[in-house]
Amino acid sequence: MLANLHVDVRGHRPAELAGIDDRRIAGDHALALQAFHSGITTGTGDVYALGQRPHRQPPLDLQLRQQPQINVVESDRLSSRTGRRVSFGSHNSRAYEPQFVFVYACLPTLDVLRSHAQTGGYSSFRRSERLVTTSLLPTESPVALIDADGQPVPDALWSMPSDEVLVALHRAIVLARRFDAQATALTKQGRLAVYPSARGQEASEIGAALALRPQDWLFPTYRDSMAVVARGVDPVEVLTLLLRGDWHCGYDPYEHLVAPQCTPLATNTLHAVGVGHAATLKGEDTVALVMLGDGATSEGDTHEALNFAGVWKAPVVFFVQNNGYAISVPLAQQTAAPSLAAKGIGYGVPAMLIDGNDPAAVYRAVSVAIARAAAGDGPTLIEAVTYRIEAHTNADDATRYRPAEEVRQWLARDPLTRLTRYLTDRGLLDADRIAALDAEAEAEAAALRQRMNVDAVLDPADLFRYVYAEQTPELRAQQQELAEESR
């Protein structure tokens, strides 16, 4: 692959990819990135010197194919001059649309070489490793569209979702937060066996759920009750899942395309890849969104799922909510990677690192990943950096492993507060609208309390009814034995 690249090393500014050749001509293997700078002599001589000459390909400028402009992140401060970067790469690389990828022009460990085409000064930089052009790497810092103060981020990577979407996100987050608080209270009242709160993670939960299309599948974990409810599942059916112990799953997964909430870490990742790959084989326009926490990324199932998804180009979005702790284990004790999103490169899976407390950024990132998967371009790994305000569950004492000051710092980054400020400043939200939403949330919480205070009528025969489509002789015998003992 051959490409022209404008690089301003001195200013440490993002570069611009002006042209790219991805014709996959047999024998191409030298990747030349040449600066548009009058003080630097460029041309075929430099390319030949790097190994292009034996293949007798035309000069670089003759091979250019104009592509949409792609942002290139400059990550090294190498010189006070504007220079040309030259690297070995593969002609099999290709560039995606800018909203799908992040391109890194230069990775660390570069050797400075004196150009034979220019006298005086260093103008060429060569690195021995392959240059990453199809972005498998995320940005160095989380991408946000709305900052913690509720202000739009200047020069944001993506466009802001529409006002209608932002208003819908706000409403859903208000309702979800009240649902979460009510579920926690029901646990303290003995109506639930356990409840893992997701307070503080509402932007990630709701932003991801609302980005799904009607035909897409959601594969949630035990902490993703807010996302499941936002998908349209009855809140009582959600809470009568493993959280109360009435059923293995309290709702019909096929009604809303929501898989049972997963308690074993990361097992849902393989389920999602299976559904996504099956949809591809059947020619269905279906994308699977799988939710997992930072702790689940340490599981072998996640490795296998990412590997299969990458190989099969399965239409799957891996949505990692990095809330800082796997129960009590901090992220630094789980991985030495610069970010969880950075792991995508090992599987050939493009990755994004986003602010998980920014509903707009979450919605946009997941929407982009879904569009990419639906177009046949394969999976995406998204790391949403967020924080779990409450303890792991009602049985956990979080004060034993994290300081109160850390919690206070994250409370200042509250997702609902920032979105409320943004919408209020734009005139899309006022005191009356906020009061009406609060009243709606309270009414739903009251209805949930009333319904959850009704004891369920359980039939022991249900233990045998839903195991096999056709009951085995052994199960029939066991059912008969239980019936006789119950008389």
Q: What residues are labeled active site?
A: 388, 392, 401
List of residues 6+ apart from 298 with CB closer than 8 A: 326, 334, 335
List of residues 6+ apart from 34 with CB closer than 8 A: 4, 5, 40, 42, 46, 60, 84, 86
Three-state secondary structure string covering the chain:
CEEEEECCCCCCCCEEEEEEECCCCCCCCEEEEECCCCCCCCCHHHHHHHHHHHHCCCCHHHHCEEEEEEEEEECCCCCCCCCEEEEECCCCCCCCCCCCCCEEEECCCCEEECCCCCCCCCCEEEECCCCCCCCCCCCCCCECCECCCCCECCCCCCCCCCHHHHHHHHHHHHHHHHHHHHHHHHHHCCCCCCCCCCCCCHHHHHHHHHHCCCCCEEECECCCHHHHHHCCCCHHHHHCCCCCCCCCCCCCHHHHCECCCECCCCHHHHHHHHHHHHHHHHCCCCCEEEEEECHHHHCHHHHHHHHHHHHHCCCEEEEEEECCEECCEEHHHCCCCCCCHHHHHHHCCCEEEEECCCHHHHHHHHHHHHHHHHCCCCCEEEEEECCCCCCCCCCCCHHHCCCHHHHHHHHCCCHHHHHHHHHHHCCCCCHHHHHHHHHHHHHHHHHHHHHHCCCCCCCCCHHHHCCCCCCCHHHHHHHHHHHHHCC
Please identify which residue in the block is written with the tokens 């970010």: 339
Cα–Cα distance measured from residue 344 to residue 316, given in angstroms and rounded to the nearest whole number: 13
Q: Which of 230, 231, 250, 232 is nearest to 240 (CA)?
A: 250
Cα–Cα distance measured from residue 124 to residue 42, given in angstroms and rounded to the nearest whole number: 10
Q: Which of 455, 426, 394 is nearest to 194 (CA)?
A: 394
Cα–Cα distance measured from residue 219 to residue 272, given in angstroms and rounded to the nearest whole number: 6
Cα–Cα distance measured from residue 224 to residue 236, given in angstroms and rounded to the nearest whole number: 14
